[in-house]
Amino acid sequence: MRWGVSPLLDTAPAPAGGDGAGHVVTSSPDAMRIVVVVLVTVVFCTLLYCIYCWRWRKRNAIKRSLFESLWPRSSSDLPLMDLASILAATDNFSKANKLGEGGFGPVYKGVLRGGLEIAVKRLSARSRQGAAEFRNEVELIAKLQHRNLVRLLGWCAERDEKLLIYEYLPNRSLDAILFDRNKSRQLGWSTRHNIILGIARGILYLHEDSLLKIVHRDKASNVLLDDKMNPKISDFGMAKIFEEESGGINNTGRVVGTYGYMAPEFALEGVFSVKSDVFSFGVLVLEILSGQRNGALYLEEHHQSLIRGMEVVDQRSCGRFHGPVAWTIVLEGRGVAVLPRWLALRAGKP
């Protein structure tokens, strides 16, 4: 019986002066220390993991709160893009990809992984346009669909960044071509005519056909051109929604915009309506016809205001014009002749 279990028993003779259990007794403190170290390490790692999870959830809760405060529930179908993809597309907002600067902040060109070209508007920390205007622009554009309005592809609100992602338009803004002595030669009369019509269609949609009635207050830098010189209205950050219940006339406590394009009643009293856009559109049409910036934008005396009567024809435009009689008159340099008599008299013309 003893022989059958002998492999399981330590039958080696104990060292002299000790008993057979001496080996087990001397190894117990080492084993206990190992157990304690392992337990402490496990508890410490578990505690660190719990702290990390708590902070991660808290950070995500803050981020979700920010998204909910910036994003209207009705527009949740618009893609939310992650910041990492935008940084990769714009090469970390490199200067080489910068397209320009607007009231919202800088605009960058980017290329997404699939090859799609985009324009990214980045809210500047120094911009006067804050979270309220950011939300305003997102809400507005998400609900607007028209061929003469710039298309919003997505948005991003992560960390300290607030970004709007648009379709990229290769010819950029109208003012970059219109007021450049060399580039403006691309704008023949037919092209200018089409640009004016396109802008008018976009404004009409904002006033009459969209779900919201919007006063945009256009200016040349807010009109972008695609590869075929088709105009698209952009920059809705300062757009105003007007209520029909008030007779289409509203008042704002803060006058924001560009002098020279602002109707007098809006610039002086903050009163705006669809007629405010008619005024701004009229100034823009004069600029397109003349190829000159409205001098009322500046304070210098040597700048002349288009509204006060400038020769409304750009001699630099190329190409033969074929169109209505009014346009033929403009081509001949007699643009004031198509104006109402009272306006022509105010402009100092017969």
Catalytic positions, written as ranges: 218
Longest dimension (CA), the chain: 136
Tell me how long the chain is: 350
**Distance of CA 76 to CAs 71, 155, 238, Å?**
7, 11, 22
Sign of CA dihedral 133, 298, 331, 182: negative
Phi, psi at 266, each rounded to 5°: -80, -45
| CB-based contact 89:102 (threshold 8 Å) | no
CA distance 175 to 294: 12
Taking alpha carbons only, the member of 300, 298, 331, 326 closest to residue 314 is: 331
Tell me phi and psi for residue 156, to 5 degrees.
-150, 130
Neighbours of 93 (CB within 10 A): 17
